[in-house]
Amino acid sequence: MEGAYAHNTIRAYRSDFADFEAWCNDRDLAALPATPDTVAEYVAALGETHAQASVRRRVAAISRLHRMFGEADPGQTEAVRMAVRKLLRARGGRQQQAAGLRSGLRDALIDACGTDLAGVRNRALIAVGYDTLCRRSELIALRADDITTAADGSATILVRRSKADQLGQGRLAYLSPRTVALLDDWLNAADIIGGPIFRGVRGKTLFEKPLCDYSVTRILKDLARKAGVGPDLVARLSGHSFRIGAALDMTEHGIDLVPIMHAGGWKSPEMVVRYTQQINTMRSGMALLHQRKAQRRASRG
């Protein structure tokens, strides 16, 4: 799979199939090839402790490994489909959405950053993540040599590869003048001319390699706690919070779906619609009807 898939995808396949193999070994069952009944039983066991997204991902890994080795795909059998369907009906099919990093929360996190080298980096990271709508893997892969500045103080940056762009065609993302200023502060403080933008820092020591993707979520959560954000919201912050928050803000300001999709590199509107569902619901015909009725009652009173 090396070279054909992203490193994170390969790592996920390896981890997920290893879990399935260990489960099979404990029960003296074959993991490869696995029977449909074995996979269905595994799905039922996972359903007791895992979120539905994790279960679907595990089944996808099992299916992929079987196809790679020329074996029949148990994930496409009726037994496994029924097991997944039972899980969805028992626990509900709607996943909890990560919290969006809206502009107000973005500013609170930027204000919570320290004055040391890590703080300067984190201010730039929060601002760039929001402007570019990058996933965490895309954010840590951004490079200083891919920034193009404009006369008005804004800039564009090349997002070379993404989850939806495995062939690396890339997309250009916008950086506001405020974000460019914060980014310049970081690049100058760290003396970065080229290569990865967001790197590990220990005291005044700067590492050559980029941050690991898990560090982005940790930084978000740590800054949120410093900013006084409640524990429930902190728990829901993730690497997708940049994308969700920026999409919500653009929707609230009346920006159409197509520009939002372009800004975040979405190939289809499905996820954007899901992210912005709450705002769109508030704008629905029924909501507007109730608002107008309330306005008429207020005018009569």
What CATH number is attached to the domain comprising 70? 1.10.150.130
Q: What is the average per-residue pLDDT within 131-157?
A: 93
Q: Is residue 98 part of a domain?
A: no
User: Domain check: are 254 and 130 in the same one?
Assistant: yes
Structural domain count, the chain: 2
Query: For residue 280, is pLDDT > 70?
Result: no
How would you classify residue 107: left for phi > 0, otherwise alpha for psi between -120 and 50, otherwise beta? Answer: alpha
Sheet of 171-175, strands arranged across: 147-149, 155-159, 171-175
Q: Which residue, of 91, 122, 151, is where some domain finishes?
A: 91
Instruction: Indicate whether 135 and 213 sit together in one domain.
Output: yes
The CA distance from 171 to 162, in Å, is 9
Q: Is residue 80 domain-shared with residue 127, that is, in the same domain?
A: no
Instruction: Decide if pLDDT at 154 tops 80.
Output: yes
Quick check: is 38 in a domain?
yes
- Look at residue 113 in the predicted model and tell me its pLDDT: 97
Whether residue 62 is found in the same domain as residue 125: no
Total number of residues shown for the chain? 301
96 has a pLDDT exceeding 70: no
pTM, two decimal places: 0.68
Whether 146 is covered by a domain: the verdict is: yes
pLDDT at 261 over 90: no
pLDDT digits (tens, 9 = 90+) for 223-237: 999 999 999 899 889
Q: Are residues 155 and 184 in the same domain?
A: yes
Please give the span between the terminal C-alpha atoms of the chain, in angstroms, as a whole number: 69
21 in Cβ contact with 31 (< 8 Å): yes
Residues 130 and 262 in one domain: yes
User: Within a domain: residue 186?
Assistant: yes
**Same-domain check for residues 84 and 29:** yes
Are 80 and 123 part of one and the same domain? Answer: no
Higher pLDDT, 147 or 289: 147
In whole angstroms, what is the distance from residue 7 CA to residue 292 CA?
A: 53
In a domain, 292, yes or no: no
| Confidence category of residue 91, pLDDT binned at 50, 70, 90 | low
How confident is the model at residue 167, as a pLDDT?
Answer: 56
Q: Give yes or no: residues 56 and 20 share one domain.
A: yes
In the numeric block, which tokens belong to residue 52?
């539905």
Residue 98 corresponds to which amino acid?
A: A
The lowest-confidence range among 85-89, 123-127, 221-225 is 85-89
- Whether the link from the prior residue into 33 is cis, omega within 30° of 0, is yes
- Do residues 98 and 240 touch, judged by C-beta distance below 8 A? yes
Asked if residue 284 is part of any domain, the answer here is no
Q: Are 248 and 102 in contact (CB under 8 A)?
A: yes
Q: What is the CATH number of the domain that holds 208?
A: 1.10.443.10
Q: At residue 270, what are phi and psi to the nearest 5 degrees?
A: -55, -55
Mean pLDDT of 21-48: 92
pLDDT of residue 258: 85
CA atoms of 70 and 62, how far apart (whole Å) = 13
pLDDT tens track for 166-221: 556 778 999 999 999 999 999 999 999 999 999 999 988 999 999 988 899 999 99
In angstroms, the CA 189 to CA 185 distance is: 6
Q: Does 293 fall in a domain?
A: no
Shared domain for 117 and 27, answered yes or no, is no
Integer Cα distance of 47 and 53 in angstroms: 10
Query: For the chain, what is the radius of gyration of the CA atoms?
Result: 23
Residue 236 lies in a domain: yes
Q: Which domain holds residue 78?
A: 7-91
Contact 119, 232 (CB under 8 A): no
Place of tokens 């790592």: 11
Residues 85 and 108 occupy one common structural domain? no
On whether both 155 and 265 belong to a single domain, the answer is yes
What local confidence, expressed as pLDDT, does residue 92 receive?
Answer: 58
- Of the residues 91, 120, 145, which one is the last residue of a structural domain? 91
